[in-house]
Structure formats: structure tokens, C-alpha cells
Amino acid sequence: MGLGWESFKDGTMKVSEKELQSLENYMILKGYRGSIAHGTYDVNTTHDDKDIMGVFIPPESTCFGIDNLETVERMWEEKISQKKMIVWDVVYYSLPKYMNLILKQNPNILCLLWLTDKYYIIRTELGERLIKNRNKLISKQCYHSFCGYAYGQLHRMTHPNTGRMGAKRKELLEKFGYDTKNASHLIRLLKMGIELLSTGELIVERPDSQMLLEIKRGEWSLERVLKYSEELFSRIEDALIHSKLQEKVDRDFVNKLCMEIMMDFYGIKR
């Protein structure tokens, strides 16, 4: 029996709270992402969101029927006080969609497999299989994704598009002369990429969280951020040269793992 949702061509759906809740029975892995997972959430600022990511098995109507559901998104605001508002940003991916993003070595996607235990909200036996196989789900191609995301943060930091900025980001720009949140992301992405290429481990909860918070709070000058990022871009290139990771993730392995998890969820004999 499916959820009765309308099919969307791109597989993405903005949903209500009730519809979001209806996916919980299909969820195999769910946890915090963003600043909470990185240990850089600042309770004293109005600029941090609470972000959650989940992986679900496609419901019957999308797994066996004609509906298409790959990504589910929901965002809402929670008023804490007169001056404090928390924005909850939730994104869920179907397992096939998630595995395809794994093949692209998407940094945010990979982070879900290396969370500190306390940041997992749902971690089923099927979700655990993803975590147990995480070292087979990384490759040297992570260099391009981590660098690509880092360059994106660098560009937005140095070439801000104020017309598309939210009020929070404009406030940072006006106060410090550059977007300090972009700067913090830039440094974190490069350091995480260096570590992953060098050790095969993704350190999501950051041991350098205090430094990242200093950057986010505007305690670093733009010149200092740019100089350090230049050094890190050089180091990540060197890490790629010496990395012992596989050249690319085995697509057949990813496909087989995805099929096995989905078939076991529905009790289909293999």
C-alpha cells in the first residue's frame, strides 16, 4: 500500500508535516547534518539552522508503482523567543537517489555515514549496512566534490550576490564585509577533504570547531581566511597525489548493496 502522493517529474516534493511523518516507517538512516553534526552550532546566534538528513526505502507506490519520489524537503520556523527563531531544514532521500549521490562523492551525503553516534536519530539494521560499508563508498573522486564545494563557498564569499541573499546573510556581509558563514564552510570543507584523502576517514564532528566558530563569528579578517584557504587548496592537491583511496567507487557494488537493502526491507527472497 503506497502513500498516495502525486508523482513529480524530478522526484522532489515539498511536503506537509503529516506527509513527512508518514515516511518514518520507511526510514533506515536519519541524523543531524550541518553545524550541529560539525559541532559548530552556536546557540547565541540567529544565523544557524537545524538541519536533518534521512534515507528512506521508496514506498510501495514508488518502488513498485508509477509514482516518482526521490527527494522530500520541508522547512519551517520555530519561534524560541522575541529575538530568536530556529529554522528547521529537513531533506530525505530515497535509497536509490542517495546511492547515486554517493557515486558523485557529495560531501553532505557522505557525512551521514560518519556521524558521531549521538547525532543519529534513526539507525536501523539496514541503515547500519551503509555505515559498515562506508569505506567502500569513498574514492579519490571526493577531491573534486570537496574542492568544488569549497570553490563555491569561496566565490560566494568574495562575489556576494546580495539580490539573492537572505536577511541573515546580508547582516553578516554588512557587519564583517564578507559572509563569515561561507568562510567557515570553505575552511571546513578543505580540511575534511584533506583528511578523507589522507586517512580514508571523514571527521564530521570537527576537532577544530572552535577555530571554525571564530571564523563564523567574524574574528578572522578576510585576508587571513583567504591566505589560509590558499594553503589548504595546496594541501588537498598534495593529499590527492599521495592518497591510497580507490580511483572511483565501484558502481556495481553500490547497485548490489542498494538492491539487497531494498529487497530485504520488503522481504523479497534473493
Q: Domain limits of the chain?
A: 12-137+249-265, 142-242
Asked whether residue 3 carries a pLDDT value surpassing 60, the answer given is no
The 3-state secondary structure of 71-100, one letter per residue:
EEEEEEEEECCCCCEEEEEEEEEEHHHHHH
Number of neighbouring beta carbons within 10 Å of residue 85:
12
Q: Which amino acid is it at 174?
A: E
* Helices H / strands E in the chain, number of each: 12, 6
Three-state DSSP class for residue 206: coil
- Across the beta sheet with 85-94, the strand order is 12-14, 71-79, 85-94, 50-56, 27-33, 120-123
The pLDDT, as a whole number, for residue 5 is 44
State how far the Cα of 153 lies from the Cα of 136, in Å rounded to an integer.
28
42-51, 132-141, 239-248, 251-260: least confidently modelled range? 42-51
List of long-range contacts for 99-103, beta carbons under 8 Å, 24+ apart: 99/254, 99/255, 99/257, 99/258, 102/137, 102/249, 102/254, 103/249, 103/251, 103/254
The pLDDT, as a whole number, for residue 97 is 97
What are the tens digits of pLDDT across the range 120-173?
999 999 999 999 999 999 999 999 999 999 999 999 998 888 777 777 778 888
Cα dist. 99→57, 67, 88, 206 in Å? 12, 19, 24, 25
What the block records as the C-alpha cell of 6 is 502525486
Three-state DSSP class for residue 40: coil
Distance of CA 180 to the CA centre of its chain: 19
- In CATH terms, 12-137+249-265 corresponds, of 3.30.70, 2.60.40, 3.30.460, 1.10.3720, to 3.30.460
The pLDDT, as a whole number, for residue 27 is 97
Cα dist. 162→55, 151, 175 in Å? 34, 18, 14
Query: Which pTM does this prediction carry?
Result: 0.88
State how far the Cα of 37 lies from the Cα of 217, in Å rounded to an integer.
18
State how far the Cα of 183 lies from the Cα of 197, in Å rounded to an integer.
22
What are the tens digits of pLDDT across the range 168-193?
778 888 899 899 999 999 999 999 99
